C-alpha cells in the first residue's frame, strides 16, 4: 500500500502472478464509486474528473489487468474475464456495494460486472460504450492502429492524444502535457495491448444486457468517432430503463474532454435515479 497524500494506492492479488492496481481517494465514509479506465489507460488520465467526484464519494480507480500499474492479462482475451478480476479485487478491498463508472473498454468490463455480480452494483454509468465490440472496432482501422501504437511505443503518445481527445483539449498546452505524461508513465508491451484489443473486439453482451437491474446511464461525447452514436443508442435501448445522455464538446474520452460536465452529469444521475 502507498499513501500519496489524499490518495491511497493498493496492489491486490487476484490470482497467482496477477494483481490489480487500485487507487482510493475521497472520504472513506462516503458512497463508493468505482472507476474503470479505457484500454491500457490509467487513473491519472482522469484526475480532474475523479477529483471532482471524490469531493463527496470514496472514488476507487480499479485498473484491470493490462491497464495502468496492473499485471499483464492472461488466458483467452475476454472482457468478462477482466470483470471477474475487478470483482475479486473489490471483494478483497471489502467493497460490498458501489456505483460503477466504466469508460470505453472499462465500460465493457463494467457491463459484465453488473451482469455477473449484480449485488455489487448500485448505479451503473457506461461512458463511450457499446453492447458489442466487433462492429465498433472494424471501422477506422488506421485510427485503432494509432491508438495501439501510442500505448506501446514511447514516441507515440502525441499521436494517441490526437486520435482520442477533443481539439480544445489538444489546444490546451498544460492539459495536453498532463495527458501525455500520464500515457508515458504506463507503457505496455505489444502483447498486452493486442490482448486487450482482442478482448474489446470480441465483446458482445447483447443477449445478457436485459439482466442489468441497476439504474443505468449511457453517457457519450457528441463527437465520438470511435464508438458512433448509433452503437451507444443501441446499448441504451437494450438495458431496461437506461438513461441516455450526450455531452457536447466531447469525443470518445468524454470524461477527459469535459471532466466537470461529465462529473456533474454522473452526480445528477446518482441523485435523481434511486433504486
CATH number of the domain encompassing residue 166: 3.40.50.1820
Handedness of CA 6, 37, 30, 257 (dihedral sign): positive
- State the Cα–Cα distance between residues 81 and 14, nearest whole angstrom: 12
For residues 180 and 155, the answer to whether their CB atoms sit within 8 Å is no
Query: Quick one: pLDDT at residue 43?
Result: 86
- Residue 106: CB partners within 8 Å, gap ≥ 6? 35, 36, 37, 38, 41, 64
Query: Quick one: pLDDT at residue 143?
Result: 52
* Cα–Cα separations (whole angstroms), residue 254 to 91, 183, 231, 241, 263: 29, 17, 16, 22, 10
**DSSP letter at 15?**
E
Query: Quick one: pLDDT at residue 138?
Result: 47
Q: What is the reported pTM?
A: 0.90
- Which cell goes with 139? 471501422
Query: Quick one: pLDDT at residue 139?
Result: 52
3-state DSSP assignment of residue 72: coil
**Could you tell me whether strands 7-15 and 2-4 are parallel, antiparallel, or unpaired per DSSP bridges?**
antiparallel
Nearest by Cα to 79 from 67, 96, 61, 95 = 67
Query: Quick one: pLDDT at residue 144?
Result: 52
Domain count, the chain: 1
- Residue 268: CB partners within 8 Å, gap ≥ 6? none
Q: pLDDT tens per residue, the chain (275 residues)?
A: 454 447 899 999 999 999 999 999 999 999 999 999 998 788 888 999 999 999 999 999 999 999 999 999 999 999 999 999 999 999 999 999 999 999 999 999 999 999 999 999 999 999 999 999 864 544 544 455 555 555 545 455 555 566 678 788 888 888 888 888 887 787 778 788 889 988 998 999 999 999 999 999 999 999 988 888 899 999 999 999 999 999 999 999 999 999 999 999 999 999 998 76
Query: Quick one: pLDDT at residue 271?
Result: 94
* Cα–Cα separations (whole angstroms), residue 72 to 17, 77, 155, 158: 9, 11, 22, 24
Query: Quick one: pLDDT at residue 137?
Result: 45
For residues 73 and 65, the answer to whether their CB atoms sit within 8 Å is yes
Q: Looking at the DSSP assignment, which residues form a beta bridge with residue 13? A: 19
Query: Residue with C-alpha cell 492539459?
Result: 175
Helix axes 141-152 and 190-202, enclosed angle (nearest 10) = 140
Report the Cα 224 to chain-centroid distance in Å.
15
Query: Quick one: pLDDT at residue 147?
Result: 55
Query: Quick one: pLDDT at residue 149?
Result: 52
Domain extent for 218? 2-272
Amino acid at each position: 500500500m502507498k499513501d500519496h497524500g489524499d490518495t491511497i494506492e493498493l496492489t491486490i492479488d487476484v490470482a497467482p502472478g496477477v494483481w490489480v492496481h487500485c487507487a482510493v481517494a475521497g472520504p472513506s465514509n462516503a458512497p463508493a464509486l468505482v472507476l474503470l479506465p479505457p484500454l491500457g489507460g490509467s487513473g491519472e488520465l482522469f484526475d480532474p474528473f475523479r477529483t471532482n467526484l471524490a469531493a463527496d464519494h470514496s472514488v476507487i480507480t480499479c485498473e484491470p489487468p493490462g491497464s495502468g500499474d496492473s499485471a499483464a492479462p492472461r488466458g483467452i482475451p475476454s472482457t468478462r474475464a477482466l470483470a471477474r478480476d475487478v470483482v475479486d479485487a473489490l471483494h478483497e478491498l471489502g467493497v460490498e456495494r458501489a456505483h460503477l463508472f466504466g469508460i470505453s473498454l472499462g465500460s465493457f468490463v463494467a457491463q459484465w460486472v453488473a451482469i455477473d455480480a449484480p449485488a455489487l452494483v448500485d448505479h451503473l454509468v457506461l461512458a463511450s460504450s457499446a453492447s458489442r465490440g466487433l462492429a465498433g472496432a472494424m471501422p477506422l482501422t488506421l485510427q485503432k492502429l494509432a491508438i495501439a501504437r501510442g500505448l506501446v511505443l514511447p514516441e507515440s503518445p502525441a499521436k494517441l492524444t490526437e486520435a482520442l481527445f477533443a481539439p480544445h483539449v489538444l489546444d490546451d498546452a498544460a492539459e495536453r502535457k498532463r495527458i501525455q505524461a500520464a500515457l508515458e508513465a504506463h507503457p505496455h508491451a505489444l502483447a498486452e495491448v493486442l490482448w486487450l484489443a482482442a478482448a474489446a473486439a470480441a465483446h458482445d453482451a447483447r443477449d445478457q444486457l436485459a439482466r442489468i437491474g441497476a439504474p443505468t446511464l449511457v453517457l457519450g461525447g457528441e463527437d465520438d468517432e470511435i464508438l458512433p452514436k448509433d452503437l451507444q443508442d443501441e446499448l441504451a435501448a437494450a438495458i431496461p430503463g437506461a438513461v441516455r445522455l450526450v455531452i457536447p464538446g466531447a469525443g470518445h474520452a468524454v470524461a477527459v474532454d469535459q471532466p466537470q460536465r461529465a462529473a456533474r452529469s454522473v452526480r445528477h444521475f446518482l441523485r435523481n435515479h434511486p433504486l
